[in-house]
């Protein structure tokens, strides 16, 4: 059973729907008791970093989440701001991150050479992968995924990067450190590619 | 590389979908949920749904329709219509919508954009400018379905939206709405050098070639269209269509120079 953390931020129902379409059992995790029978977790996120961290910290879900991810090695996937929350901190806010993957989140550059790029980076972009990971099985990397963000995760260790995209600069759009994954793009809104990716996560 | 977005725009009225011409003369085109299902199958880049009655009648957004649309949509969804407060916008985002499009409320009080960015994040705020060309004064901004004129020039409002922290600007040509005579490229050129956030143009598209003209003129932008994706032929028979990934790919390759040799 996949548990989608329901802490008042992000698109819980879109994730549940995507899993439902592929026959993967999934439920919302809104209180600590809901962690029961959950074997993998999704941390969705939209909005601003501090507001999302604050809501998670005050949701009553945080302690058990730390325990499951750090002690029990429960697979966790953070999406968009949820990915940024996996690190130590973000230059978008002042609160501490979850610290599950070593790294920080920084704003994307606005300029390349003489061209000023608009931010947020919004729309469909392709993904290149430095090495094979089962998560990418059956994914059309050229069609890529839907992005909507101005900040990106900078992992301390480059081997945490499992996918890159290029906008004003090359950035990590997918990261992994043992049981913890992060995606910058929105798989829950990336049509068949996104649903396939979520199904792959459910299978790991 | 980031590709231009090709975005069908659907108009909601009394829980059904309609298509207008120059903001009047609406024609019923079908059921919204059914349309979203078809657009899922056609792998649409994103969807824009605008309730054209909510602001005009001063009523709340129809949350139950929005929730059903968001649940059904496997692509990003932007909703507009009747949003006046941070609470309403927050509720819509929580229903699973990626972006909210706001016109009259932010034109009456641009500070609302800043308040919204603190809660739902700047990336989810689309400021809408409905523009009409006047012979002597250039482009003017309207609200309430093109009925009420707002003070301030087009460029003034583009700058204001950007300064207050909008994540995107939707520029909608009232003159071209439903006319299928191509995007207003003069408008596109005029705005280009002032734009520092993502922009989407709406109004006038009748073919993929028109979309090609837009991206050749502007570069990577959102290309939204209503009639193009819901009507077929000169009698405007209702038929939902959308280009395939290959067609979109080739369009970008042929029309934007930096993509040449890229794929």
pLDDT in tens, B9-27: 999 999 899 999 999 999 9
* Residues of the domain holding A7: 2-203
Mind listing the pLDDT tens digit for each residue in B125-139? 999 999 999 988 899
* Residue at B136 is within a domain: yes
CATH classification at residue A6: 3.40.50.880
CB contact under 8 A, A13 and B96: yes
Domain count, chain A: 1
Reply yes or no on whether A186 is catalytic. Answer: yes
Residue ranges of chain A with per-residue pLDDT less than 50: none
CATH number of domain containing B163: 3.20.20.70
* Residue pLDDT, tens place only, B140-190: 999 999 999 999 999 999 999 999 999 999 999 999 999 999 999 999 999
The number of distinct structural domains making up chain B is 1
Q: What is the pLDDT of residues B145-156, one digit of tens each?
A: 999 999 999 999
Residue pLDDT, tens place only, B35-92 = 999 999 999 999 999 999 998 899 999 999 999 999 889 999 999 999 999 999 999 9
Which chain A residues are Cβ-neighbours of B94 within 8 angstroms?
Answer: 8
Q: Which residues contact B167 (CB under 8 A, 6 or more apart)?
A: A120, A122, A148, B99, B117, B121, B122, B123, B124, B125, B126, B197, B198
Does residue B263 lie in a domain region? no
Both tokens assigned to A59: 């949701």
Domain assignment present for B124? yes
Which structural domain range is residue B212 located in?
A: 5-258
Nearest to A121 among B2, B5, B120 (CB): B2
Considering only residues 164 to 183 of chain A, which have any Cβ-Cβ distance to chain B shorter than 8 Å? 166-167
C-alpha distances out from residue A138 to A16, A190, A192, B94, Å: 21, 14, 10, 31
Provide the pLDDT for residue B261.
61
A38-54: burial string, b at 16+ Cβ within 10 Å, e else: bebbbbbbbbbbebbbb
Residue B262 has a pLDDT of 60
Strand partners, B245: none
**Of residues B62, B130, B184, B210, which has the active-site annotation?**
B130
ipTM, two decimals: 0.91
Residues B1, A125: C-beta atoms closer than 8 Å: yes
Contact by Cβ (8 Å): A25, A2:
yes
């Amino acid at each position: 059973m996949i548990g989608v953390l329901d802490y008042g931020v992000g698109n819980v129902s879109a994730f549940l729907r995507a899993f439902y379409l592929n026959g993967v059992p999934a439920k919302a995790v809104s209180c600590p008791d809901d962690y029961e029978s959950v074997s993998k977790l999704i941390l969705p996120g939209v909005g601003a970093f501090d507001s999302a961290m604050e809501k998670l910290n005050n949701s009553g879900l945080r302690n058990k989440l730390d325990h499951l991810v750090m002690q029990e090695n429960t697979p966790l996937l953070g999406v968009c701001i949820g990915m940024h929350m996996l690190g130590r901190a973000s230059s978008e806010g002042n609160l501490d991150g979850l610290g599950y993957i070593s790294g920080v989140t920084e704003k994307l550059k606005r300029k390349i050479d003489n061209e000023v790029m608009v931010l947020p980076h919004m729309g469909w972009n392709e993904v290149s992968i430095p090495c094979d990971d089962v998560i990418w099985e059956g994914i059309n990397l050229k069609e890529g995924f839907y992005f909507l963000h101005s900040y990106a995760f900078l992992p301390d260790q480059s081997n945490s990067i499992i996918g890159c995209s290029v906008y004003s600069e090359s950035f990590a759009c997918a990261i992994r450190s043992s049981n913890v994954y992060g995606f910058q793009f929105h798989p829950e809104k990336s049509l068949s590619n996104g649903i396939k990716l979520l199904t792959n996560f459910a299978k790991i | 590389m980031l590709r231009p977005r090709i975005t069908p725009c659907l108009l909601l009225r009394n829980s059904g979908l309609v298509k207008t011409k120059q903001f009047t003369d609406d024609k019923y085109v079908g059921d919204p949920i059914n349309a979203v299902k078809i657009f899922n199958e056609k792998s649409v880049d994103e969807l824009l749904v605008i309730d054209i009655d909510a602001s005009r009648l001063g009523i709340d957004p129809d949350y139950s329709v929005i929730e059903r649309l968001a649940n059904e949509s496997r692509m990003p969804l932007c909703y507009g219509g009747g949003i006046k407060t941070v609470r309403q916008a927050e509720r819509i985002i929580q229903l699973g919508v990626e972006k909210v499009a706001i016109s009259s409320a932010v034109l009456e009080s641009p500070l609302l954009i800043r308040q919204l960015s603190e809660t739902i994040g700047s990336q989810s705020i689309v400021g809408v400018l409905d523009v009409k060309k006047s012979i002597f004064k250039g482009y003017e901004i309207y609200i309430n379905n093109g009925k009420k004129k707002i003070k301030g020039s087009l460029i003034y409002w583009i700058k204001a939206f950007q300064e207050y922290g909008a994540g995107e600007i939707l520029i909608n040509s009232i003159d071209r709405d439903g006319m299928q005579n191509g995007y207003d490229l003069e408008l596109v050129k005029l705005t280009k050098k002032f734009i520092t956030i993502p922009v989407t143009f709406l109004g006038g598209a009748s073919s993929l070639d028109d979309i090609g003209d837009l991206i050749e003129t502007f570069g990577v932008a959102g290309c939204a269209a209503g009639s193009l994706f819901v009507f077929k032929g000169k009698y405007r028979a209702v038929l939902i269509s959308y280009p395939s990934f290959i067609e979109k790919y080739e369009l970008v390759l042929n029309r934007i120079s930096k993509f040449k040799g890229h794929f």
